[in-house]
Amino acid sequence: MSALTQAIRDGGVITWRNLVGMRRVPDALIGLTIQPIMFVVLFALVFAGSLGGAPYREFLVAGIFAQTVAFNVFFTTIGMANDLQKGIIDRFRSLPMSRTAVVLGRAVSDLGVSVITLIVMSLTGLVVGWRIRGSVLDALAGFGLLLLFSFAMSWIGVFVGLTARNVEVAQSAGLIWLFPLTFVSSAFVSVQGFPGWLQPVGEWNPVSAVARASRELFGNPTQLPGFGESSAWPAQHAALYAVLSSLAIVAVFLPLAVARYRRVASR
C-alpha cells in the first residue's frame, strides 16, 4: 500500500473515531453551534442599528461565517491536546499506521464540525434577514471557500494542540490569538476605519479575504455604507487571495504538525 492510500485509509478510521466521540459527548458541539447563533443574533440586533441597519446585516453574516470557521481551530486544538494528555496518542504512535493519519483525521472530522456550524449559522442568518442574492453555484463556491479556509486553519490547531503541554495550556494558547486574527479584519467592520498603520494588516489578513470573497459569492454588499472600496490587492482579488492563503497555511502547518506528531512525547 502506498503511503498516500494508507494515510487516507487510516485517516478515515481516525475521522470515524473522532466523529463517534463527538456524538457521544455533544456538549462541545452544542457550545460550538450556540456561539455563532449568538453572534449572528447579537450583532444583527445590537450593532446593525448603529452601523447602517439592513445593509450591515447583509454585510455582517458572511463576516461571522469567516470568523466562526476560524474559531473552529480552537476545537481542533483542544481535541488534539486531549488525545495527547489521555495517552491515546501513545497507542497510535505504537501502531503500524500512517504517521499522517491522526492529524489528517482530526482536520477532516473538524471540517465536519464546520459544515454543521455553517448550516446552523446560515439558517439563523436567514431568520435575521440575510439573503443569498447570487447564483446557487456562486453560493456553493462561497461555502466551499469557507470550508477550505476552515480545513487550512485546523492544521494550525493541530500544531498548537500538539505543542501545548496540557489541555489547560491549549485552552488559553488555542484561543487568544484568534481574537486579533478575526477582529483585525473586515469580518465585522470596514478596514478603512482602522488607524492607518493597522489597515495593511487588516487588508492582508486572510480572514478579510475569506469574508469579502464570501460576500461577493453570496451577492452581499462588500463594503459598509460611507466607506470607499478598498484598492488593496487582496480586496481586489479576494477569492484568489483566500484560496492562496489557505493553501499557504496548509503548506506551512501540515508538515509542522506531522513533524510534531512524530516527535511528540506525551505526558
Partner 1 sequence: MNQFAVRVEGLKKSFGSTQALDGVDLGIPTGTVLGLLGPNGAGKTTMVRVLTTLLKPDAGRAWVAGHDVVVQPQAVRRSIGLSGQYAAVDENLTGIENLYMVGRLYGLSRAVARARAKELLERFRLTEAAERPSKTYSGGMRRRLDLAGALVAAPPVVVLDEPTTGLDPRGRLDTWSLISELVGDGTTVLLTTQYLEEADQLADNIVVIDRGRAIARGTSDELKAQIGGERLQVVVAHPDQVAIARSVLTDVGTGELLVDEHLRRVSVPVSGGTKALIEALRRFDAEGVEVLDVALQRPTLDDVFLTLTGHLAEETEQAEMKTEMAAS
Residues in contact with partner 1 by the rule CB under 8 A: 1, 10, 13, 16-17, 20-21, 24-25, 86-88, 90-97, 101, 265, 267
Minimum distance of partner 1 from residue 1's CB (angstroms): 8
Q: Name the minimum Å distance from CB 76 to partner 1.
A: 16
CB of 3 to partner 1, least distance (A): 10
The span from the CA of 262 to the CA of 92, in Å, is: 11
Residue 19 vs 120, nearer CB to partner 1: 19
242 or 257: whose CB is closer to partner 1?
Answer: 257
Cβ closest to partner 1, residue 50 vs residue 94: 94
Q: Cell digits for 10?
A: 487510516
- Asked if 87 and 267 touch (Cβ cutoff 8 Å), the reply is yes
Tell me how far, at minimum, the Cβ of 4 lies from partner 1, in Å: 15
| HSE-up of residue 241 (Cα within 13 Å, Cβ side) | 19
Minimum CB–partner distance for residue 137 and partner 1 (Å): 37
Nearest to 190 by CA among 38, 10, 56: 56
Nearby residues of 36 by Cβ (< 8 Å), 6 or more positions away = 64, 68, 117, 120, 121, 124
**In this structure, how many other beta carbons lie within 10 angstroms of the beta carbon of residue 133?**
12
Q: What are phi and psi for residue 199, nearest 5 degrees? A: -60, -45
- The nearer residue to partner 1, 3 or 140, going by C-beta atoms, is 3
Closer residue to partner 1, CB minimum distance, 17 or 237: 17
